[in-house]
Structure 1
Amino acid sequence: MTSKTGEQKSPAQNKYIFEIHFLRAFACLLVVGVHVSATNYGMNEETWNWFTYFMNQYGRFGTTIFAVISGFLLFYQVKRKGFELGRFLQSRFLKIVLPFLIWSAAYRCLLYYYDMQTLGDPVDEITKVLMGDSFYHLYFVAIVVQFYLIFPFLQKIFRTQTLVLVFTVIALIISYNLYSFNPGIEGKLGEFLTGKSFMPIWIFYFAFGGFMAYFWDEIVGFATKRPWKMLAVILLVSAGAVYEYQTIGYVSNRRLTNLFNIPALSIAIIGIYPLLAKLSLVKKTLTVIGQYSMGIYLVHPMILYLFARHLPETYWQLEYVPLMFIAVMVIASVFIRILQFIPFSGFIIPVPKIKNNKKQPAVQREQKASA
């Protein structure tokens, strides 16, 4: 095994990793599926049908895969270019923290206008924002921000393949032992430690993203040579997830089985990229979704919220669920595209640029880089 330090730069330093973009699109679709199905559930007197229940439970993989991607991007950047604290803090503030604060305020205004939720004690309001409680989906951004706070220390310690592997194992032990964690503390602190926005519960997924970053060539080489086997892995994990929620009942995205499911799914999804990339329409669609994924994540609950208050009751029947899903994706994507024409829109919704790597297939670029 060859050690790679964070200061080394690979020959393919400037290439764009389409496989991760594809993984991000997959995660985005799953998250939107969760919230479309949950909104349908609420609009039908809190009643599931077989399809919305499947969408909701299977989609629980999405947020956790986003944690893997977040860890990957951070560690991969360190592996390629090293780490500069000032640049890191500026980048994370402008690309993540500032949009998080803006959208927290936007959702607070939405609740004020429609639900007459007046502003409370300033300390409580600030606490809500920091914990990602301004709206139901923002807790994950709060988790990512917490990881940013410790990442400067982590990247200083774990900068080789061997040490990143050690970190991944340690993180697995931490996440496993924090499952159903309850320190027995009352008040706001106790709520935070037992809540879904407590980052250490998620740390394995960030660490696994780091593992993927430092073993990227090996993972891509292994998975993309076996696309049909990777598809079989996806189907097996999917079947296991269906069996789990049908046997146990409702499960969350923090379920213990995700400690196995998420690594398996992440690698397998990367492995089937060459198959889907052959289909031009599919590739272009997933590329756009991957590129807009953060914006879609921030915007889509607002679209659903407005749908729930303005669409006739007829549109909440089962046959309209797929149409609702497509409508949310299209409206969110169009909104993001229009927003890009406005100056400084990147502070509201950052959209990564896609680099054209001379039209070479992604797998070929990786193989050339590792040759």
Structure 2
Amino acid sequence: MRRGATILFGLMALWPALALAQQEPGALARAAAKQIEDASARLDAAESARDRVRALTETIQAFETGLGALRTGLRQATIREAQLSAKLAARDGEIAQLLAVLQSVGNAASPVALLHPGGPVGTARAGMLLAELTPALNTRATALRRDLQDVQALRDLQVDAAERLRDGLREVQQARAALNQAMANRTDLPSRFTADPVRTAILIASTETLDGFASGLSQIAPDDPGAPDLSITARKGALPLPAQGLILRRAGEADAAGVKRPGLILATRPRAIVTTPTAATIRYTGPLLDLGNVVILEPQTDTLFVLAGLDVVYGTAGDVIAEGAPLGLMGAAAAENEAGLSTDGDDAGTDRSESLYIEVRQDNVPQDPAEWFRTDKDG
């Protein structure tokens, strides 16, 4: 009987931790699903919005936030379900032994069960022990039932989350396509200066490095040097990163080949939207050297933001754009849909297969982007 009691109380001690573990991923997944539902409503509203580009941009950002949170919740639910199942499986032997003891007691004739080899005192003590164990047995039976219910609930949660993830991925793709069309149709952007394609082409042809191109570009003065300019110095260090992602490499850190760059590299998910961190003038958009598509922004007269590695770029040189305006989209992995449904590598950066290079130049001198952007707000 003491052996059975030890097993029983050991199993009872296991329940609170398992119950708490189940609640956290479930709440996280449900909150993320709500974010995706809200983003879906935004997508419907964006179709009739007056500023459709802004509405679609905010919708895509909302989808990216919700999808990222849902992946995290789905992954945690999977882990918790596996842990709970493993712990229950590990206790199978002890539960079987306890049930065998109870069955042997239940199968014995009543007069024999009430007798004890130690005489009346032993019989009384055994009766007291059984009286104490009865409520504990009921509690443990309830706990085991709840354990099994939690396993099933977690499995149902995973199925529901996976379906919402598929729907969210499909809708964010629709939003990106709508944004591409809206940007193609947009003709109302103000222009601060008229780009000189000939001078820019000559500069590209004669430049071998991004450093040289950005320095040369800063020498191509706008047609209207007297245009009003707002300083962003007061916001230095508080600017949002252009895309949601994880910092892969900071300024001055060597890569695998030992090459050090003055900018930081942000790892993003496929097709992540890139937006301007502040109001700025576009000085250049298009392919450059071996950096893929590049966007160079001028937020103030002495400062350039260089963003390299985009797949799709919006806008043209000379456009004056507001803070949060879309600049383009990152590239797509070969199997984007399958990768989007997988939670493998989440929080480790391996699901973020695209790299956005961010460089800041002031008076033609590279600056540490960490001094300009909120690099502690990776997402």
TM-score of the two chains, using structure 1 as the length reference: 0.25
- Structure richer in strand, relative to its length: 2
| Structure index of larger Rg | 2
User: Which structure's relative contact order is higher, taking Cα pairs within 8 Å and 6+ residues apart?
Assistant: 1
TM-score of the two chains, using structure 2 as the length reference: 0.25
